[in-house]
Amino acid sequence: MTHADERQPLLEGQRDVVKPDNTTIPDGGLKAWSQVIGSFFLMFNCWGIVNCYGSFQAYYKTVLFPDASPAAISWIGSLQAFLLIFISVLTGPAYDAGYFQALIVTGTTLMAFGTLMVSFCSQYWQLLFAQAICTGLGAGCLFVPGVAILSTYFKKNASLATGIATSGGSVGGIVYSALFKRFELSLGFAASVRLLALVMLLTQSIALLTMRVRMVPATRRAYLQLSAFKEIPYAIYSGGVLFAFMGMYIPFFFVQNYAIEHNILPANTASYALITLNLASLLGRIIPNMLADRTGPFNILIPCSLTTTLLAFLWIWVDTVETLFIFCSLYGFFSGAFVSLSPTTVVSLSPNLGVVGVRMGMSFVFAAIGLLTGNPIAGAILKATGWPALQAFCGCCVGISMIAMVAARIVKAGPSLRVKV
């Protein structure tokens, strides 16, 4: 396609979207920033419901399934997070083909329906289908479109816009955790979950009303580019992503139970630990992104992963209210930075923008496998040997990831700290 005013052939049911020249990217203005608002609420729901799972984990363990193992309970949240990322390999090409609106409607329907069905569940297998599979698939329909659409509206301010949008996941984790705990105590489990489904529908309506596709790619994106793994930096980075997501979310799943079992916080206020994690993660998803535009994402990602590793090991000695909230604040910030910087790091490892989408999708697969396996393994370790082993497992996973990031950066650009990469 050589002319800006030509139209890409679309299949039945697709939006008829003009592909303008890239020089017309607005990089600001009311319509562009309204996409950020809409994307914020997509992240608010798809990642917010994952980030608040620690509250469900605590409720299931203490009330609904007191005899179940922590590993069994964490499988629900882990499978939900796995599906969110894993099906991005499919939803990315669907977005590229022009099915943005269909993905958002489908995702909204599945998420709201799955959450509503959770309120009627009383058995483990029911929760696995409703909360893990149905809600996870719905969240996966929202994730890639919510991030990808911003690249068509922003260029110079792309990192800032993406950081603001992805911070919605942290805000969603805060809001959903607070609402669930507040209304579960006063109205009961079923009513509180139905309230979450209502909030989900209302906030998703904002995204549906504000977001509009500006352009679609001239060619459809490939599903795989296996030759990318012949490039050593990308291959090492992908392995690092697997270990990062295997360990990174363990505190988000277990810190609430940790506070209760160690008598640091009573059960009715233990959710504040998880809320603090998400609140700090909100800042961690914005501030480092702003710095990365100047230094390069790798140069921020590595110190953030190193700090996260140290904090995970220091978690072993957290035994007071003060140290708990200091840990949650610092861990939330630096782990949030790692999550938000990962997509831009893939850009720095790609030879051109034409392969960024497929490479990002492949790295998401590694992240999904890490999310699927990490928390159940942590739960099994907790049952077998106790909390210090779980915390050490968390630190080791993130530490291996940090070492991989250092190796990938050195292979890519050498050891000099002055190189922007």
- CA nearest to 130, candidates 176, 80, 195: 80
- What is the 8-class DSSP label of residue 174? H
- What is the reported pLDDT for 23? 52
> What is 324-379 written as a DSSP string?
HHHHHHHHHHHHHHHHHHHHHHHHHTSSSGGGHHHHHHHHHHHHHHHHHHHHHHHH
- What is the reported pLDDT for 132? 94
Question: Which residues sit opposite 107 in a β-bridge?
Answer: none
- CATH code at 372? 1.20.1250.20
- What is the reported pLDDT for 7? 37
Q: Look at residue 421 and tell me if it is in a domain.
A: no
pTM reported for the whole predicted model: 0.81
- What is the reported pLDDT for 324? 96
- What is the reported pLDDT for 17? 45
For the chain, what is the domain count?
Answer: 1
Q: Look at residue 21 and tell me if it is in a domain.
A: no
Q: Look at residue 239 and tell me if it is in a domain.
A: yes
Q: Which residue has the tokens 């992963």?
A: 305
Q: Look at residue 16 and tell me if it is in a domain.
A: no
- What is the reported pLDDT for 15? 44
- What is the reported pLDDT for 276? 92
The pLDDT tens digits along the chain (421 residues) read: 334 333 344 443 444 444 444 457 777 788 889 999 999 999 999 999 988 998 898 899 888 998 888 888 989 998 999 999 888 778 877 777 778 899 999 999 999 999 999 999 989 999 999 999 999 999 999 988 887 788 778 777 777 787 788 888 889 988 998 899 888 888 899 999 999 999 999 999 999 999 888 776 666 666 778 888 999 999 999 999 999 999 999 999 899 999 999 999 998 888 899 889 988 988 888 888 778 777 888 888 899 999 999 999 999 999 999 999 999 999 999 998 887 787 778 877 877 656 666 787 788 889 999 989 999 999 999 999 999 999 999 999 999 999 999 999 999 888 777 777 7
Domain of 81? 27-413
| CB of 149 closer than 8 Å to CB of 213 | yes
Calculate the CA dihedral of residues 141, 143, 148, 153 and round it to 10 degrees.
110
Report how far residue 380's alpha carbon sits from residue 336's, in angstroms, rounded to the nearest whole number: 25
Question: Which residues sit opposite 7 in a β-bridge?
Answer: 18
- What is the reported pLDDT for 219? 62
Q: Look at residue 420 and tell me if it is in a domain.
A: no
- What is the reported pLDDT for 11? 40
- What is the reported pLDDT for 410? 92
Report how far residue 63's alpha carbon sits from residue 267's, in angstroms, rounded to the nearest whole number: 11
Report how far residue 60's alpha carbon sits from residue 18's, in angstroms, rounded to the nearest whole number: 49
- What is the reported pLDDT for 218? 63
Q: Look at residue 1 and tell me if it is in a domain.
A: no
Q: Look at residue 13 and tell me if it is in a domain.
A: no
- What is the reported pLDDT for 357? 65
| CB of 312 closer than 8 Å to CB of 306 | no
Question: Which residues sit opposite 18 in a β-bridge?
Answer: 7
Report how far residue 89's alpha carbon sits from residue 79's, in angstroms, rounded to the nearest whole number: 16
Q: Look at residue 356 and tell me if it is in a domain.
A: yes
